[in-house]
Structure 1
Amino acid sequence: MLVIASANRDPQQFADPDVLKIKRQEIRHLAFGQGIHFCLGAPLARLEGQIGLTTLLRRLPKLQLAIPTADIQWNPQLVL
């Protein structure tokens, strides 16, 4: 069964796959395809993400979760 929510969470490919690491160096995912099927819009999408996150964090420097991290629970449902 293919589950999109499990993408890029393979512990054999990524150290600490459940941890969000903005500056992660091991970029071996298939988010934009591969080879001749590589997404032409990938550079634009990366630039938009970089600009969006940078702007968000600059405008809201004290941004944080509304609840403690320990209270976040993984949802085991297959529904996205």
Structure 2
Amino acid sequence: MIPGGGETVMVALSAADRDPTPFPRPDTFDIRRPSPPHLAFGHGIHYCLGAPLARLQAATALSSLFTRFPALALAPGADRTWRRSLITRGLTRLPVRVGG
């Protein structure tokens, strides 16, 4: 309890993994970046039971995508469009090219 109560607390999920101390260049997407421990699936007794399934689904989807389109790359000169939200951070548009 907060003494006096009535205070509002807002969790900014869009700030997750954005601290430059554990995440070098937090504004740069780097799939090879070593990942420090994070709490995306919770921790301890509150750890998400579905985490292994979510990880398997992501690994399967990405493996299938890159196997089917080995030359997949960002479209040259294309603008990425970011979601405007205080709650989540993500792209609403990411133009790519599938061929070389």
| TM category, shorter | 0.7 to 0.9
**Aligned Cα root-mean-square deviation (Å):** 2.4
Higher Cα radius of gyration: 2
Q: 2:29 aligns with which of 8, 15, 20?
A: 20
In structure 1, distance between residues paired with 2:33 and 2:15: 18
> Under a length normalisation based on structure 1, what TM-score does the superposition of the two structures give?
0.73
More strand by share: 2
Q: What is the Cα deviation at residue 67 of structure 1? A: 4.3
Q: Identity rate of aligned residues, in percent? A: 47
Q: How has the CA–CA distance of structure 1 residues 67 and 3 changed in structure 2, closer, same or farther, with 3 Å as cutoff?
A: farther
User: Mind listing any 5+ residue stretches in structure 2 that lack a counterpart?
Assistant: 1-9, 89-100
More helix by share: 1
> Under a length normalisation based on structure 2, what TM-score does the superposition of the two structures give?
0.61
SS at match of 2:67: helix
Aligned residue pairs, count = 79
**Partner residue in 2 for 1:78:** 86
